[in-house]
Structure 1
Amino acid sequence: MSEVAESLQKALDTGDHEGVVACIPYARYLGIRAEQDDSSGGRIYRMPFRDELVGNARLPALHGGTVAGLLELAMQIEVLISETQPRLPYPIDFSIDYWRSAGAQDCLCRCRLIRSGRRIAQVQAECWQEDAERPVAFARADFLLRAVDDASV
């Protein structure tokens, strides 16, 4: 098993959600953090605002790719954390609906694992900024679940 896979497995075994995020380079670049959601008992994923993430400087608005990256990574991390067996989620289908521009502030995301079977996991996620009742984007994804030993991490 690779060094990254071992770090990931250790983070999952100890419940270190920040350690899981740290194993994913793009998640580190975006600054994604997994936080406890006190209202639901689940997790919220936060992408802190940085000027480098702005796609339209006139508004200013975050680049749509960073919002999509947050949603996809949050869903993958949610599957990783929720799985009882060490299996890596590979995206096989991803769709996103943008509902409004993401302004120059932190983005928050909540995921819902719809189904996790032997080979496929289905997840949906919602992204918002100030008010969870005014979402910025909504995404759905299907992931192929592969054993850590079958994957090159």
Structure 2
Amino acid sequence: MRILISLLCGGLFGAGLVVSGMTDTKRVQGFLDLFGGWDPTLMFVMGGAIIPMFIAWRIAAKRETAVLGSPLPAAPKTEIDRKLVIGGILFGMGWGLSGFCPGPAFASLSFSGTGGLVFMIAMLVAMIAARPLIPALFR
């Protein structure tokens, strides 16, 4: 049951990315281009995600288990540390240069051609290669 609901949620998330245009790299880069052809669409998509998650975290804080009975994960840390700042900068640079972040990159694999596939492979290789480097960078 859990796998089925996870599949349904992932499919809904992917469909939302496609419908909102967030798999279009030009739309994302247009949001980041403040002095050119600025496109505010991403702001509305983010707002549409933040509002329900804010409500969901409030409800989850009052519960001990999820609807399906499994334990709820701990709330994320609110501390802003060096690791978070550096990770945010690297994520933002990659997102701004390519127009993709992991969710839309995965959602667009079926129609983005070789460029999307190359991006996804490079992203996965970088994620795997970064694992052993993280402890050395944050001593």
TM-score, normalized by length of structure 1?
0.26
Larger radius of gyration: 2
Relative to its length, the structure with more helix (as a share) is 2
Structure with larger RCO (C-alpha < 8 A, sep 6+): 2
TM-score normalised according to structure 2 size: 0.28
